[in-house]
Amino acid sequence: MSKRAKTTPKEELPQGTVLQDTNGNEWEIQNIIGSGGFGYVYRGTKHGVRSRQEYAIKTENMESGPLFVERMFYLKNMKAESINGWKLDKKLIELPLPSFYGFGSIDYNFNKYRFIVIEKFDKDLEAFLKSVSDNLLLGAVINIIRQMIDALEYIHECGYVHWDIKSQNIFVGKKPKENHVYLGDFGMVTKYKTENVVPNKKLANNGTLEYIALDGHVGMHTRRADLESLMYNGLEWLKLKLPWKGETLSKTITSKVEMKDEVLKAGPKEKIYNYDKVPHCYFRSMKIIYSMEPAEKPDYAFLKKLLKEYKKEKKSSK
Ligand SMILES: Nc1ncnc2c1ncn2[C@@H]1O[C@H](COP(=O)(O)OP(=O)(O)O)[C@@H](O)[C@H]1O
Ligand SMILES: [Mg+2]
């Protein structure tokens, strides 16, 4: 469970509620499509406009922090100019992050809520992976990881780490973008340092226990940690069991340290934990991530290229 999922009262905004954002645009609440730690996510439409376009409206009690952080991230870093420039520069068809449409606040029932309006997706990754057949799974997972590396590169270049990578925070595009995935939920983004990167107990163990990277367990915000989390997720997306699943915090940490040791000492053609369906290039990518310095900038392009080698491995094993 995410550490921020504490108890703040949350109530449902009724269908038809109209929210006015700071630009004067009006958004109409439809039904609930998701629930998080502090509030609901709704399907919404533009009020008074005859359009079938749907949006996601994420709300949260004004007292709580994550949506404040998320709004700040969208406002600061998700401007169309910066995104378009980045896409051109990196030759990306799509930046794997949701588009941002507006924000504001609303009083309801003596409570004040904050809201943001973002691109709406049909399903999260969890639902999508269930629909992928076994023989297509490896290709699909590698494709998702490579797009998540693009998403992380952008977030990192903005000066932040994401810190909560997991399938519930990743969304799948609608036709014709059904091969695209998008990393959302910026409620835990944090600025990272590039000098004096040291552990800080107060910041330790934030996030979702099974995916927290080793740096996360000591409260050190690093870019390599986002990548390490991503690779743990990827193993699960391949329907493998993480050795620390369901374990206590201290056992989880010990088990993650063991995996790191195993990966680092394994030869280039060796597989670990009977993870037979994991290609060698996956472990080699993990090795690179584990071997990075805390403040080091990851070589995103190289990792993406390396992960593509699963195709060659598949051919040579036939
Ligand atoms: N843009 C979106 N499109 C579709 N569903 C969404 C969207 N954003 C969130 N959801 C749904 O709501 C859930 C909670 O949203 P999330 O942004 O992860 O909030 P929290 O910070 O509370 O975890 C997600 O797991 C997902 O099922
Ligand atoms: Mg979430």
Residue 53 has pLDDT above 60, yes or no: yes
- Check residues 301 and 1 and name the one with the higher pLDDT: 301
CA 34 / ligand 1 centre spacing (Å)? 5
Q: Quote the pTM value.
A: 0.94
CA distance 208 to 163: 9
For ligand 1, mutation pick of 2, 3, 33, 74 (most atoms within 8 Å of CB):
33
Q: What is the pLDDT of residue 9?
A: 56
- Hunting for tokens 């040579």 — which residue is that? 316
Residues 6+ apart with CB under 8 A from 136: none
Strand ranges, E, within the chain: 18-20, 26-35, 40-46, 55-61, 100-108, 111-119, 123-124, 160-161, 170-172, 181-183, 190-191
Question: Residue 278's pLDDT band (boundaries 50, 70, 90)?
Answer: very high
Residues 6+ apart with CB under 8 A from 85: none
Phi, psi of 111 (to 5 degrees): -115, 150
The CA–CA distances, whole Å, from 244 to 149, 205, 222, 232 equal 24, 15, 22, 11
CA distance 223 to 156: 7
CA distance 264 to 273: 13
Region 232-260 average pLDDT: 97
Of the residues 164, 185, 215, 226, which is catalytic? 164
Q: Is 37 in the pocket of ligand 1 (CB under 6 A)?
A: yes
For ligand 1, mutation pick of 41, 166, 169 (most atoms within 8 Å of CB):
41
Whether the CB-CB separation of 182 and 247 falls below 8 Å is answered with no
Q: Is 56 in the pocket of ligand 1 (CB under 6 A)?
A: yes
Region 45-61 average pLDDT: 93
Q: How many helices (H) and strands (E) does the chain have?
A: 10, 11
Q: Whose CA is nearest to atom 5 of ligand 1?
A: 121
Region 35-45 average pLDDT: 88
Region 179-197 average pLDDT: 96
The CA–CA distances, whole Å, from 181 to 66, 129, 300 equal 22, 12, 17
Q: State the chain's mean pLDDT as an integer.
A: 93
Question: Residue 4's pLDDT band (boundaries 50, 70, 90)?
Answer: very low
Using only the alpha carbons of the chain, give its radius of gyration.
20
Classified as helix, coil or strand, 230 is helix
CA 214 / ligand 2 centre spacing (Å)? 21
Label the pairing between strands 181-183 and 190-191: unpaired
- What is 32-88 written as a DSSP string? EEEE-SSSEEEEEEETT------EEEEEEETT-SHHHHHHHHHHHH--HHHHHHHHH
> Residue 102: left if φ>0, alpha if ψ -120 to 50, beta else—which one?
left
Question: Residue 58's pLDDT band (boundaries 50, 70, 90)?
Answer: very high
> Is 226 annotated as catalytic?
no
Break the chain into its structural domains and give their ranges.
18-119, 123-316
Q: Which listed ligand is nearest to 67 at the C-alpha?
A: 1
At 84-101, the pLDDT tens digits run: 999 999 999 999 999 999
Q: What is the pLDDT of residue 2?
A: 46
Choose which CATH entry (1.20.1290.10, 1.10.510.10, 3.30.70.2740, 1.20.120.1200) describes domain 123-316. Answer: 1.10.510.10
- Is 58 labeled as ligand-binding? yes
At 106-122, the pLDDT tens digits run: 998 888 999 999 999 98
Among 47-51, 56-60, 298-302, the minimum mean pLDDT is found in 47-51
Q: What is the pLDDT of residue 1?
A: 41
Question: Residue 7's pLDDT band (boundaries 50, 70, 90)?
Answer: very low
Q: Which listed ligand is nearest to 54 at the C-alpha?
A: 1
Label the pairing between strands 55-61 and 40-46: antiparallel
Region 23-47 average pLDDT: 93
Same fold, 18-119 and 123-316: no
- Check residues 102 and 65 and name the one with the higher pLDDT: 102
Among 23-32, 229-238, 261-270, 303-312, the minimum mean pLDDT is found in 261-270
DSSP 8-state code for residue 193 = P
Residue 308 has pLDDT above 80, yes or no: yes
Q: Whose CA is nearest to atom 2 of ligand 1?
A: 120
Domain covering 18-119: architecture: 2-Layer Sandwich (3.30)
